[in-house]
Amino acid sequence: MKEGNGTGTFTDETWAIWERLIEAVRPHGKTPPHDLRRTIAAIFWRHENGAKWRSIPSELGPWWRAAQLFIRWAKLGVWERLFQRVQEQQGLALGMTFLDGTNIRAHHKAAGAKKRGLLATSEIIVKRLAALAAAMARKSA
């Protein structure tokens, strides 16, 4: 999913696949989302890089638009439906990776409470979807 400048963007071929999947699960309200391709790329970029929302590159649009869409879709269960659709369509079973935490040093302020609720579940799902999008981009290149 990375192109020349290092920001996460979709190639036309990759977006054609993702757009069909997203359109099948996204809510259809009065107004369509503004520049959905760029906003989804921003959400995937944020979760792939583990960055804060405000760190999203300006080429991917305003950070607040990506954050709003992510939160809205998390509350509506769109990410879960998209994840299920991807697994059905692509025949993939995306698993989890575990790291041995004894070898990883963290700052003493890094110990925090576990995230709960819809946003935590959606963040895990979007991280997996972003990894899949990156793998698809490497495969097509």
Q: Would residue 22 count as lying in a domain?
A: yes
Please count the structural domains in the chain. Answer: 1
**Distance of alpha carbon 28 from alpha carbon 48, whole angstroms:** 27
Q: Which of 34, 20, 37 is nearest to 68 (CA)?
A: 34
pLDDT tens for 67-80 read 999 999 999 999 99
In a domain, 3, yes or no: no
| Domain region containing 130 | 12-94+116-140
Give the type of residue at 2: K
Q: What is the pLDDT of residue 9?
A: 76
Residue 120 — pLDDT band, cuts 50, 70, 90? Answer: confident
Establish if 104 belongs to a structural domain. no
pLDDT of residue 109: 58
Tell me the per-residue pLDDT of 91-100, one tens digit each, with 9 for 90 and over: 665 555 554 4
Alpha-carbon separation of residue 15 from 8, 12, 37, 74, 122 (angstroms): 12, 5, 7, 21, 21
Residue 4 included in any domain: no
Mean confidence (pLDDT) of the chain: 79
Please tell me the pTM assigned to this model.
0.69
Q: What is the pLDDT of residue 4?
A: 40
State the CB neighbour count (10 A cutoff) for residue 60.
23
CB-based contact 136:17 (threshold 8 Å): yes
Structural domain includes residue 136 = yes
